[in-house]
Structure 1
Amino acid sequence: MNFPTILAVILVGISAVAGIVAFTGGPVATEEVPVEEVSTDDPYDNHGLKIAKEPPYPKAALQEDAHHEFGVMNVGSTGSHTFIIKNEGEAPLQLKKGDTTCKCTLSELAENEIPPGETAEIKLEWTPKEPTSQFRQQADIHTNDPENKTIALNVIGAVDDFLHVVPESSWELPILGDDQPRSMEGLVYSTVLDDFNIQSIETPSDYLTAEWRILEEDELAQYNAKSGYEITVTAQPTMEVGKHSDLVTITTDVEERERLSMTVYTKRPGPVQAASYIPPGKSGAHLKWRPELPALNLGQFRSEDGQVGWYSLVVRGVKDDEELVVEDIEKVIPNFNPDDLEVEIKRDETANLPNAQRYLVTFRVKPGAKKGSHLMKESAKVTLKTNIKGLESYKFYIQFIVI
């Protein structure tokens, strides 16, 4: 006699949706979690399933553990597992969907019964929407077995993206020197794919190149990865002076993550590097430097006292016998007499730098200068005009408050 195969399909969503309660995060226990039964006034009524008061009874026997450890699965992919329940009793076994921690539906059963000696397949399906290091979903099946009224089925595992990029979103190369290229290494790997291929890497600028190699087993093990590549991005010194950002795109054969993009930051300084400086025996407690602008804040001081501050400049590409000459100094200071701000620059003869010279710059506000605030847009802009190639025009910003 052919008995119908019973198929229960339970759809499990990892991420919360309207009307769905999902548990994620935290340590995952592998032991079966008991489910609190809903008490009824009638001990022979289990959620609408009638329990016989005397034999013969059905006996619900799960043919494996009540939980299935799925391991790591992909975001957006559908996983499934089939549990089998056997009726080892002497009366028909009835099944009914109970409370679950996820969305679930139970397919039609032939008279809701499993005949004695027969089995039913209960298939759980789920499609995770977001990565999570650990998850556990539970579906309850009620029965008319007086000794096993509720069977709790559990799905345990983790969800990960198909591909990971390290660093995640932006890569920064070392600062370029005058004639040497600079490189950095990043990774693209997968904890769920046994294999994938990089098809190309697009670098939008001529001074950027990229190449890749397959990671070795010991390298993959550091990231619990199954497959992956090391990406080397190199910047050539042909790039222009300044800060640059370029969008580099990696194309793979993984349909869900076909194109991976990251921003690569590169910096090539010009012939001048500004730095804070305090002459021996002087105090710089009142000063605040911003070498990246460059800018110097002289602080707040009384008009009758005046104020002084210092900067140092390292000029590369200058020969020992070549002297920097300041041909002109332009000073633009809103609501202030430019002559009341003195600028002095001289070579530091004690510096011993290869293919470079160091210069010390002094900024001095004369005593008796006009009172006022010179911050932000009101800052003094000082431009040095020199005879050095690459340093024909160099700007400083000087901030101060005269009271």
Structure 2
Amino acid sequence: MLRWVILAVVVVVLAAGSTLLMNLSTSPGTSWNLPVTPAKAGPMPKAVVEGELTHEFGEMGQQQTGKKSWKLTNEGDADLQIWKGTSTCMCTVAKLQKEGDKLTLKPGESTDIDIEWKTNFVTGDFHKGANIETNDPDHPTFPLFVHGKINPPVVVIPGDTIDLGAINSDEPKTVFVAVYSPDRPETKITEINTSKPDYFKTDVESMSASELESGGLKAGNKINLHVQPGFPLGTMREEIVIHTDHPLRPEIKLTVVGSVSGPISVVPDRLRMVTVKSKEGASGEVRLLVRGGKEAHFDVAQKPEKLEVSVEPIDPVGAKGRYLMKVSVPKGTAPGLIDGEILLKSDLPGVAELKVPVSFLVGAN
């Protein structure tokens, strides 16, 4: 019985409390002490920039200077102050030359914000600019940027390395490279030099209208590279130097690579050893196989100074046209990398030279 009396008392107390709270919440003049965001008061500046904040300039050449102006107006009813903030380049902002300089615009006044940039030796994507700071609480910062593509002074297609792939020394081969200048279409090729003038012949011709149209070019040249028969057998790595009248790139060096095969097969086509011990020395062998079993004579015309090289016929009877080139690192050779080419002279018709790349890593132990 006592339990039921206590429960009834609790219910009555809770009901009375709820009624009291409702009366207080609806009573006129009752206020709550909640924080309220203060409203802006008084005249305020308003910075408005005309146009896009990022200027797309398209394409430019290296070592050039660009300039872009933005019009900034104070459309508020209080003085607007502007100053230069952070920058991503050595940009010059007109009227804000020194860091900390401030410019004040009265209501309704405007000014031009000029950004000047230099492309220097950048190639490819270019994205630079500066932040303009203001006392406009709604627009405290205006990031003004310039974006575009920077072209090298002279472009070579397919690039500075020409891969000729597999070449037969018995047959000629011709490839071409395109050369043009995006900023100076009138650029001319004045001279071409090659590391093997007896085996590399070149001529220059203007690109055709269809070639120019397909590349979106105004003018350009093609350099035809003719590889002559009898080119030295083995791995090819030669140089072509193109001279132009462009002031920023008067000389262009191209590397020509490939693999030349012919009446003589070289197995393996290069010799490498990376575990040579100085106190023991080492040796390796390369087989020279002459097509048709013809006899030939080989002289060592060039080799790395520290190596010993000899070429002798393989002994078995009936093994004509088969030769063994032995390459040795003498005992006591100083540790270090021996890297280079062995050049063989041959009396075989159509094969004046034969090159075999070699690389030996000599260790102290």
Read off the aligned partner of 2:187 and give its amino acid letter. Answer: F
Residues in 2 aligned to 1:325 and 1:104: alpha-carbon distance in whole angstroms: 69
Read off the aligned partner of 1:199 and give its amino acid letter. Answer: T
Read off the aligned partner of 1:377 and give its amino acid letter. Answer: V
Instruction: Tell me what 1:377 maps to.
Output: 329
Q: Is the 8 Å Cα contact of residues 346 and 359 (structure 1) preserved in structure 2?
A: no
Shift of the alpha carbon at 1:150?
Answer: 2.2
Q: Does 1:117 align with 2:89?
A: no
Read off the aligned partner of 1:114 and give its amino acid letter. Answer: L
Q: Is the 8 Å Cα contact of residues 193 and 226 (structure 1) preserved in structure 2?
A: no
Could you report, residue by residue, the CA deviation over 1:77-133 in whole angstroms, capped at 9, with x for unpaired residues? 222211111233444432111223334555547982234433211111112344354
After TM superposition, the score normalised by the length of structure 1 is: 0.52
1:390–1:131 CA distance, 2 compared to 1 (3 A): closer
| Correspondent of 2:244 among 230, 252, 268 | 252
Moved more, 154-163 or 195-204: 195-204
1:106–1:138 CA distance, 2 compared to 1 (3 A): closer
| Correspondent of 1:164 among 155, 171, 181 | 155
- Richer in helix (by share): 2
Shift of the alpha carbon at 1:71?
Answer: 1.8
Moved more, 108-117 or 70-79: 108-117
Helix, strand or coil at the partner of 1:257? coil
Could you report, residue by residue, the CA deviation over 1:37-56 in whole angstroms, capped at 9, with x for unpaired residues? xxxxxx9xxxxxxxx9512x
Shift of the alpha carbon at 1:249?
Answer: 2.1
Matches within 5 A, 1:242-391: 246-264=238-256, 271-274=263-266, 290-291=268-269, 313-315=289-291, 343-346=315-318, 376-377=328-329
Instruction: Tell me what 1:212 maps to.
Output: 204
Helix, strand or coil at the partner of 1:344? coil
Could you report, residue by residue, the CA deviation over 1:121-156 in whole angstroms, capped at 9, with x for unpaired residues? 111111234435434324221223344332221222
Matches within 5 A, 1:20-169: 53-55=41-43, 57-104=44-91, 106-108=93-95, 112-169=103-160
Residues in 1 aligned to 2:286 and 2:243: alpha-carbon distance in whole angstroms: 51
Read off the aligned partner of 1:54 and give its amino acid letter. Answer: G
Residues in 2 aligned to 1:387 and 1:150: alpha-carbon distance in whole angstroms: 79
1:359–1:84 CA distance, 2 compared to 1 (3 A): same
Could you report, residue by residue, the CA deviation over 1:340-394 in whole angstroms, capped at 9, with x for unpaired residues? x9821537xxxxxxxxxx85789xxxxxxxxxxx984379xxxxxx997789xx9
Shift of the alpha carbon at 1:189?
Answer: 3.4
Aligned pair count reads 271
Query: Identity percentage over the alignment?
Result: 29
1:155–1:107 CA distance, 2 compared to 1 (3 A): closer
1:145–1:311 CA distance, 2 compared to 1 (3 A): closer
Helix, strand or coil at the partner of 2:52? coil
Read off the aligned partner of 2:140 and give its amino acid letter. Answer: K
1:390–1:115 CA distance, 2 compared to 1 (3 A): closer
Shift of the alpha carbon at 1:244?
Answer: 6.6
Please, what is the CA RMSD of the aligned residues?
Answer: 4.8
Residues in 2 aligned to 1:251 and 1:272: alpha-carbon distance in whole angstroms: 36
After TM superposition, the score normalised by the length of structure 2 is: 0.57
Residues in 2 aligned to 1:310 and 1:100: alpha-carbon distance in whole angstroms: 61
Helix, strand or coil at the partner of 2:329? helix
| Correspondent of 1:185 among 176, 200, 220 | 176
1:271–1:128 CA distance, 2 compared to 1 (3 A): same
Shift of the alpha carbon at 1:69?
Answer: 0.9
Residues in 1 aligned to 2:176 and 2:296: alpha-carbon distance in whole angstroms: 42
Helix, strand or coil at the partner of 1:346? coil
1:134–1:107 CA distance, 2 compared to 1 (3 A): closer
Residues in 1 aligned to 2:158 and 2:77: alpha-carbon distance in whole angstroms: 62
Q: Is the 8 Å Cα contact of residues 91 and 129 (structure 2) preserved in structure 1?
A: no
Shift of the alpha carbon at 1:270?
Answer: 6.8
Helix, strand or coil at the partner of 1:54? coil
Instruction: Tell me what 1:16 maps to.
Output: none
Residues in 1 aligned to 2:212 and 2:317: alpha-carbon distance in whole angstroms: 55
Read off the aligned partner of 1:315 and give its amino acid letter. Answer: R
Q: Is the 8 Å Cα contact of residues 235 and 266 (structure 1) preserved in structure 2?
A: no
Residues in 2 aligned to 1:388 and 1:192: alpha-carbon distance in whole angstroms: 51
Shift of the alpha carbon at 1:169?
Answer: 3.2
